[in-house]
Amino acid sequence: MPTRGIRGAITVSTDTKNEVLSATSEMLKEISAANPGLRPEDIASAFFTVTDDIRSVFPAEAARYNGWKNVPRLCAKEIPVEGSLGLCIRVLLHWNTELAPEKIKHVYLKRAKKLRPDLVNNTQE
């Protein structure tokens, strides 16, 4: 079975544990809703990144609260490119699925929509 990547990103207004975990949970739920058939047992791994201004909590912790206890997770910092979007959480999920790459739905929420306007669904918040 092939492994496909699913990208997602969301922003927070402030770096607090509650807001980071809540936003990460929202992003993961939106990714799951956009990709029917996505189950935690089919996710090979999840790679989360945050911008330099997020230090309150590891966003991967939110995955555990969403039932992804056995999904290997890793967090890292984004490269601090001058002028880049701040207070941003990103994820790359590695999903074992037979779906073709063009059938995968990537999710960009809040101010992160401007990262990939070509992939943003107009129904995304």
Torsion of CA 31, 35, 36, 40, to 10 degrees: -60
Per-residue pLDDT at 121: 59
| Percent of the chain residues topping a pLDDT of 90 | 86
What pTM value is reported for the model? Answer: 0.92
Burial class of residue 41 in the structure, from the number of CB atoms within 10 Å of its CB (0-12 exposed, 13-18 middle, 19+ buried): exposed
- The CATH homologous superfamily to which domain 3-115 belongs is RutC-like (3.30.1330.40)
Q: Give the model's pLDDT for residue 43.
A: 97
Which are the catalytic amino acids? 7, 64, 75, 78, 90, 108, 116
| 94/7 Cα distance (integer angstroms) | 9
pLDDT, residue 17, reads 97
What pLDDT digit, counting tens, does each position of 51-98 carry? Answer: 999 999 999 999 988 889 999 999 999 999 999 999 999 999 999 999
How do residues 35-62 score in pLDDT, each as one tens digit? Answer: 999 999 999 999 999 999 999 999 999 9
Are the beta carbons of 41 and 70 closer than 8 angstroms? yes
| DSSP, residue by residue, 70-92 | TS-EEEEEPP--TTPPPSEEEEE
Nearest to 106 by CA among 22, 21, 30: 30
Q: Is the pLDDT of residue 31 over 60?
A: yes
96 bridge partner residues: 3
Enumerate the domain spans of the chain.
3-115
